[in-house]
Amino acid sequence: MGSSKSSGKSVGAGAITPLLIGVQTHPERDVSLESLAREAGYSPSHFHRLFTETIGETPKEHVERVRLERAALKIAVTRDTILDISLSVGFRNHETFTRAFKRAFGMTPSACRRGALAAQHDRMNRMRAFRGDGCTLSEVTFLTLKPMTLLAMRRVGPYATVDLPPFSPADQLWSALVAFAESRKLAYRRLPMSICPDDPNMTAPDRQNLDACIPLVGEGKGRGNIRRLDFPGGLFGAIEHRGPYATIDQAYRTLADGIRRSGRFAFRDGPPLQIFRELSPDGDPAKNLTEVYFPVEKVS
């Protein structure tokens, strides 16, 4: 990842960001213009104008894009039926979903799944012995993570331009979370994490969402652009990455390959978790240790 400043939004983003997070977390819920405007406390016409000026999409365009991108990811990585996927992201019937999907991606959901499976099979065969290029990757393991209470700050913009490492002079995310916790005397762990719900191969860079997080010890509440996030835990596939953050994408791909190759586990719905376990004290990127986790479930 690079080292440019975090992207900002207009003043209206303060009222809209919680709604964006809600749409992304639960795309199946009622996200009509009227319901979103009511939740934000605006009239439908004013909310539509504010949303469009702030986000660069109309509410309807945003909701459909988020739903279709979530569906495309599920089609590529899960074994869920296409009908179940369409319903899970808020489409009422298979036909409407298929038309919208083809309009967005130029192919049907079934063709998307066939292409994804073929590409995954080819990659797994080619990369069986891969252990990192410019970094070192561990073997893929499977483990259970406990639930956690996190402080989180949402950042919208290219994943490649997040200021890393956490707590560096350029960092405006994790440092702000620590400052917030200390100002309110919240007990926390100085363990930076990130949750990235978007697939960077699918979501445009300027629309990619990242939640920077730190764990709380006990209870706590957020305020403004900092919120409490309850991480549910569960079963995960895991991999360790030692090296510069610019090579972290190798950990994500290798972990995904390992899950598919296992035959015992399949992807579970939910975003990946990244833990910055060791930050190089002398600034040597080769010494950074990062853990990447994908939610999984056992194959019955």
Res. 254: pLDDT tops 70: yes
Check pLDDT > 70 for residue 75: yes
Residue 217: how many other CB atoms lie within 10 Å: 12
Residue that wins the pLDDT comparison between 216 and 224: 216
Q: In the predicted model, what is the mean pLDDT of residues 10-29?
A: 77
d(CA 75, CA 265): 16
* 60 CB burial (10 A radius; 0-12, 13-18, 19+): middle
136-298: CATH class: alpha beta
pLDDT at 8 over 50: no
pLDDT of residue 57: 93
Rounded distance between C-alpha atoms, residue 76 and residue 68, angstroms? 12
For residue 193, pLDDT beyond 90 = yes
Tokens of 39: 């939740």
- Is a pLDDT exceeding 90 seen at residue 228? yes
- More confident site: 281 or 27: 27
pLDDT in tens, 113-142: 999 999 998 888 888 788 899 999 999 999
Superfamily for 13-118? Homeodomain-like (1.10.10.60)
Secondary-structure breakdown of the chain: helix, strand, coil percentages, each rounded to the nearest 5: 40, 20, 35
What pLDDT band is residue 9 in, cutting at 50, 70 and 90? very low
Per-residue pLDDT at 66 exceeds 80: yes
Predicted pLDDT at 12:
54
Pairing mode of beta strands 226-231, 136-137: unpaired
pLDDT at 151: 97
Question: Does residue 109 contact residue 98 with C-beta atoms inside 8 Å?
Answer: yes
Is the C-alpha dihedral spanning 246, 252, 255, 260 positive or negative? negative
Domain ranges, ordered by start, for the chain: 13-118, 136-298
Q: Which two tokens stand for residue 171?
A: 């960092």
- Longest Cα pair distance anywhere in the chain, in angstroms? 57
The average confidence (pLDDT) of the chain is 91
Q: Which of 101-105, 219-223, 280-284 has the lowest mean pLDDT?
A: 280-284
Against a cut of 0.95, is the pTM above it? no
Provide the b/e sequence for 250-260 (b: ≥16 CB within 10 Å): bbbebbbbbbb
DSSP class per residue in 15-84: HHHHHHHHHHH-TTS---HHHHHHHHTS-HHHHHHHHHHHHSS-HHHHHHHHHHHHHHHHHHH----HHH
CA 47/CA 40 separation, integer angstroms: 8
Report the phi/psi class of residue 40: left, alpha or beta, with left for phi > 0 and alpha for psi in -120 to 50.
alpha
Predicted pLDDT at 13: 62
What's the chain's length in residues? 300
